[in-house]
């Protein structure tokens, strides 16, 4: 099947005065895809989304929607649905009037308007609030209405700018699942801006990781998590242990590394090649380290330490283990057979060579 490209950014650049905030942004969004722009505050996510929406014009490059060059085309000619961080509903209009607003502008008949309003209220699971005013709704409900309002025009593209960030943690998760369900149900091509890595991992077909106006990596959630293109991507997505060291042996695909604290680490085949004696940065995710009590000998990838801190967090316990001069963060999943971890215990940390990520130090 040939892929249909709904949105294409070709070498997009944006500056404010002399300040370049988006640089050489290249992306093809396939029809039906859910894409997230993920990165820290100020990295250019909203600016890029606003260029796609037509609120800002690029200063370089080409923006295509459904194959048509869109530079300079105003937002209302782009047939997009957009949801912002703040609910942005009209306070003096009922829910139904808010949702119908875009249809009125498009001169849709009264009967069709009513049918479409009811349909989207059903889609966002709020069939009985049509006559209420926004102030009579909770934050989560208001954001569902904002989503319904964006969907009612049957947009070719849905743009979401941090729509969940004003909600409390539980609602956030609920609405995140709702968004996923909605996307499965209606399949509209969606671009979602967030600085929350969990949200991006949970929702996206692909994630665009951005930093300082640059695209660091574009990939599926698994690729981004397991094969990060840079230290920035690895450390931004989830917790990790970061150790500095040197390559002291190479045997086929297996590297032997010694950390600055004298710990021996074996690492299996890496995406990026490193040379013997090269200075490297070593990463091990906390959930990849196992804790055992057995007094085994110390060797590479199995080290003795002292449990300094154990924070029980429900489904897992977050531990800090002092190993020589290193402090390793370890995430212990709770199972029926989990032992109660006590601070001060002597423990052994062990991990697999496959779970060690090695990057050359100072090579970017």
Q: What 3-state class would DSSP assign to 214? A: strand
Write the interaction track for ligand ATP spanning residues 115-154; mark x where CB under 6 A is met and - where it is not: ----------------------------------------
- The least CB distance from residue 226 to ligand ATP, in Å, is 25
- The least CB distance from residue 297 to ligand ATP, in Å, is 49
Q: Which stretch binds ligand ATP (CB under 6 A): 44-52, 235-243, 277-285, 297-305?
A: 44-52
20 binds ligand ATP (CB under 6 A): no
Nearer to ligand ATP, 11 or 324 (CB): 11
Q: How many residues bind ligand ATP (CB under 6 A)?
A: 11
Beta strands (DSSP E) in 2-117 are 5-16, 19-30, 34-38, 60-65, 68-69, 80-83
353 binds ligand ATP (CB under 6 A): no
18 binds ligand ATP (CB under 6 A): no
- The least CB distance from residue 22 to ligand ATP, in Å, is 7
How many of the other CB atoms lie within 10 Å of CB of 353? 16
Q: How far is CA 61 from the centre of its chain?
A: 25
195 binds ligand ATP (CB under 6 A): yes
Nearer to ligand ATP, 45 or 183 (CB): 45
How many of the other CB atoms lie within 10 Å of CB of 72? 9
- Are 95 and 129 within 8 A, CB to CB? yes
Beta strands (DSSP E) in 97-240 are 157-161, 190-194, 206-211, 214-219
- Are 354 and 268 within 8 A, CB to CB? yes
Nearer to ligand ATP, 55 or 312 (CB): 55
The answer to whether the Cα torsion of 68, 71, 73, 79 is positive or negative is positive
45 binds ligand ATP (CB under 6 A): yes
Q: Which stretch binds ligand ATP (CB under 6 A): 45-53, 132-140, 201-209, 236-244?
A: 45-53
Residue 360 region by backbone torsions, left for phi larger than 0, else alpha for psi between -120 and 50, else beta: beta
Nearer to ligand ATP, 48 or 317 (CB): 48
Q: Are strands 316-323 and 60-65 parallel, antiparallel or unpaired?
A: unpaired
Among 43, 126, 160, 303, binds ligand ATP (CB under 6 A): 43
Residues within the interface to ligand ATP (CB under 6 A)? 16, 21, 39, 41-47, 195
């Amino acid at each position: 099947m040939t892929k249909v490209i709904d949105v294409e950014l070709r070498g997009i650049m944006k500056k404010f005065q002399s300040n370049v905030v988006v640089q050489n942004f290249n992306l093809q969004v396939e029809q039906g895809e859910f894409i997230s722009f993920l990165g820290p505050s100020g990295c250019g996510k909203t600016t890029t989304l606003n260029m796609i929406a037509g609120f800002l014009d690029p200063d370089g490059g080409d923006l295509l929607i459904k194959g048509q060059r869109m530079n300079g085309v105003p937002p209302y000619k782009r047939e997009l649905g957009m949801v912002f961080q703040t609910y942005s509903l009209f306070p003096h209009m009922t829910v139904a009037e808010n949702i119908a607003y875009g249809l009125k502008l498009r001169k849709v008949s009264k009967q069709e308007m009513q049918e479409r309003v009811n349909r989207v209220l059903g889609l966002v699971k709020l069939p009985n609030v049509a006559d209420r005013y926004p102030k009579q709704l909770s934050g989560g409900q208001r954001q569902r209405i904002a989503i319904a309002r964006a969907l009612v025009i049957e947009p070719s593209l849905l743009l979401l700018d941090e729509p969940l960030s004003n909600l409390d943690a539980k609602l956030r998760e609920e609405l995140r699942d709702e968004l996923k369900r909605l996307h499965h149900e209606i399949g509209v091509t969606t671009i979602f801006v967030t600085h929350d890595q969990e949200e991006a991992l949970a929702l996206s077909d692909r994630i665009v990781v951005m930093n300082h106006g640059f695209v660091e990596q574009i990939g599926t959630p698994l690729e981004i998590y397991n094969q990060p293109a840079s230290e920035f991507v690895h450390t931004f997505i989830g917790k990790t242990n970061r150790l500095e060291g040197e390559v002291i042996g190479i045997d086929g695909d297996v590297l032997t590394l010694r950390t600055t604290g004298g710990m021996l680490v074996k690492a299996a085949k890496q995406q990026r090649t490193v040379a013997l004696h090269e200075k490297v940065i070593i990463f091990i995710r906390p959930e990849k380290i196992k804790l055992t009590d057995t007094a085994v000998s110390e060797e590479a990838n199995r080290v003795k330490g002292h449990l300094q801190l154990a924070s029980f967090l429900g489904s897992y316990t977050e531990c800090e283990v002092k190993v020589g001069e290193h402090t390793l963060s370890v995430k212990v999943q709770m199972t029926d057979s989990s032992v109660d971890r006590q601070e001060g215990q002597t423990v052994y940390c062990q991990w697999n060579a496959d779970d060690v990520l090695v990057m050359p130090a100072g090579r970017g």
